[in-house]
């Protein structure tokens, strides 16, 4: 389906940038994280949005989505053996028609 295709395209774009995909559609009691990727000690929690434009994709991540992803990220991180070494970032990949996926770093910032 469209969601699978968008996530596969987003994962491919990240892998070409040197990230390893650790999880797709990771579910927790807080909700789901579309992709979890890692390069070195940096872990990305990635929201994938398939939209007609980058602006539409950016606007599609609401405050509630941010809180859901943060909560799910906290749970995932707490289960990692090397938790203390890891830094994390909340990114977005916009999957747009007829374009290479756009990787937006720091699409939002987690609670400090």
What is the domain count for the chain?
1
- The residue among 36, 26, 6, 3 whose CA lies nearest residue 102 is 6
Report the CATH number that the domain containing residue 96 is assigned in CATH: 3.40.1350.10
Q: C-alpha distances in angstroms, 65 versus 44, 68, 72, 77, 102?
A: 16, 5, 11, 18, 19
Instruction: Give the pLDDT of the chain (112 residues) as one tens digit per residue.
Output: 888 999 999 999 999 999 999 999 999 998 899 999 999 999 999 999 999 999 999 999 988 889 999 999 999 999 999 988 999 999 999 999 999 999 999 998 765 4
The pLDDT of residue 112:
44
Domain that holds residue 45: 2-108
């Amino acid at each position: 389906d469209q969601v699978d295709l968008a996530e596969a395209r987003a994962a491919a774009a990240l892998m070409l940038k040197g990230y390893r995909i650790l999880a797709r559609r990771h579910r927790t009691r807080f909700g789901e994280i579309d992709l979890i990727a890692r390069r070195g000690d940096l872990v990305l929690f990635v929201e994938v949005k398939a939209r007609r434009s980058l602006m539409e994709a950016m606007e599609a991540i609401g405050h509630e989505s941010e809180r859901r992803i943060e909560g799910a990220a906290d749970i995932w991180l707490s289960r990692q053996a090397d938790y203390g070494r890891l830094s994390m970032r909340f990114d977005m990949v916009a999957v747009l028609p007829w374009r290479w996926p756009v990787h937006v770093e720091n699409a939002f910032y987690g609670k400090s």
